[in-house]
Chains A and B, each alone.
Chain A
Amino acid sequence: NAGVTQTPKFRILKIGQSMTLQCTQDMNHNYMYWYRQDPGMGLKLIYYSVGAGITDKGEVPNGYNVSRSTTEDFPLRLELAAPSQTSVYFCASSDRGGTPQHFGDGTRLSIL
């Protein structure tokens, strides 16, 4: 089973560039999440979605945008990349809000 798949695994961006981090899950989960993890820190929630067409902000949404047109996909868009967005990004999904989350392996993003 694939579970939660994130692409790309690594990326280097220049300041001011834009990119989309892809996330797809094959478990038919309603809930999907984007987190970022800075070195030596815990994860912080950027955005989440409770179903197709519904998204909401998490703790650190500034500088990011999301969309959820299908149950399977939840892309994260970075506009005008800044060095402060250098981090590891994790996508996760869960069946419902209180059930265990399944995480992808992450995207390591460096902005220079």
Chain B
Amino acid sequence: DAKTTQPNSMESNEEEPVHLPCNHSTISGTDYIHWYRQLPSQGPEYVIHGLTSNVNNRMASLAIAEDRKSSTLILHRATLRDAAVYYCILRDRNYGQNFVFGPGTRLSVLP
């Protein structure tokens, strides 16, 4: 399975944008890029996913590099509630059963 690399931790100030990077240099053409987050003492929560084009939804934006070897999750205005561990995951379009969760990025939001 293709792997992802994320920074262990990041900090942001409240109401400022946050850019969470993810490297996936061995991504295959059929891999979707998924982002999940996990708030303290809760199960993971789906954030966004994409294949080639940038994606937007009510929670975040996903910017995918042209060569697809990296992507960035963008939170436009961080709130205290966005403090969580963020996971970047590759999921094969055809064999998507096995999610491989790495350690993720722990995002701290400062008031």
Contacts and interface: CB of A to CB of B under 8 A. Distances in A.
Contacts of A40: 103
Contacts of B100: 42, 45, 59
28 contacts: A31-B97, A40-B103, A42-B100, A42-B101, A42-B102, A42-B103, A42-B104, A43-B99, A43-B101, A44-B101, A45-B98, A45-B99, A48-B97, A90-B43, A92-B44, A97-B97, A98-B32, A98-B92, A98-B93, A100-B46, A100-B49, A101-B44, A103-B44, A103-B45, A105-B42, A106-B41, A106-B42, A106-B43
B98 A98 contact: no
A43 B97 contact: no
Interface in B87-110: 87, 91-104
A86 to B, nearest CB: 16
Contacts of A101: 36, 44, 46, 99
In the complex, which range does the number of interface residues on chain A fall in? 20 to 34
B24 interface: no
B44 A100 contact: no
Nearest to A48: B97
B19 interface: no
A75 to B, nearest CB: 17
Interface in B37-71: 41-46, 49
Contacts of A90: 43-44
In the complex, which range does the number of interface residues on chain B fall in? 20 to 34
Interface of A: 4, 31, 33, 35, 40-45, 48, 50, 56, 58-59, 90, 92, 96-106
B44 to A, nearest CB: 5
A43 B103 CA distance: 8
Contacts of B95: 97
